[in-house]
Amino acid sequence: MLAKRIVPCLDVAGGRVVKGVNFEGLRDAGDPVEREAIYEQQGADEIVFLDITASVEGRDTLVDLVSRTSESVFIPFTVGGGVRTIGDMQRVLAAGADKVGINTRAVDDPDLVTRGAEAFGSQCIVVAIDAKRTDGSWEVYTHGGRTPTGLDALQWAHQVVERGAGELLVTSIDADGTRAGYDIALLRALAEWAPVPIVASGGAGSLDDFRGALQEGGADAALAASVFHYGTYTVGDVKAYLAEHGVPVRPV
């Protein structure tokens, strides 16, 4: 069985790491480059860096920050937020990112997923899906969780995988920042059919939440932010717990 990945996430606004609850009430959590270096030392498998206000503000991703990150961090990292064109993807990848994440623009222009996969390979294209429960299903939201789209999250996931997405980063808006656990039902519904890796996001609060996402939810990776940013756990703590409970992880 492939090792499961533990992925710290840095939501960035105004050049600083921030964290909120249900995508709101953002608090400062430090310098992104410094935080990423710390997580690499702790044994993180990858890093996700999301410029969470780029789409709302209609501007490009902070490419200079991506470049600084690539100079000091040597594990794979994904960059998302404000990626709207093939040119944006090229700039982010050229600055040192290993993958690009798209969400809002993918909904507005689904063919961007196809063009990106054709240009750079599916392994570089991560489609982020921010989903909120609505009447027994999950609806896709864009613009940092602010805009409902009417799209069913599972149907949308099928579409982007068919278009060439190589990974799905799935965030439960309901669970985000609450530390009440990942949305296991959402993860399981995706993992049952998806031929690409599923990264679970939103809700990590306890060590067992990580195990639940990876074992019960069937995710390939578990992403978290606040529990790492505010020192509740280290990446090493999470990996030690998972290893004790039979979840295959790369050693720290």
Q: How many percent of the chain have pLDDT more than 90?
A: 67
Domain locations in the chain as residue ranges: 5-244
User: Which comes out higher in pLDDT, residue 143 or 105?
Assistant: 105
Average pLDDT, the chain: 89
Asked whether the predicted pLDDT for residue 54 surpasses 60, the reply is no
Asked whether the predicted pLDDT for residue 140 surpasses 50, the reply is yes
Q: Tens digit of pLDDT for each residue in 215-249? A: 999 999 999 988 998 899 999 999 999 999 999 99
Predicted pLDDT of residue 23: 46
Predicted pLDDT of residue 64: 78
Name the CATH architecture for the domain at 5-244.
Alpha-Beta Barrel (3.20)
* Two structure tokens written together for 20: 């909120």
Predicted pLDDT of residue 26: 52
pTM of the model: 0.91
- Nearest alpha-carbon partner for 98 in 117, 125, 71: 125
Q: Average pLDDT for residues 187-191, to the nearest whole number?
A: 97
Q: Which residues are catalytic?
A: 11, 130
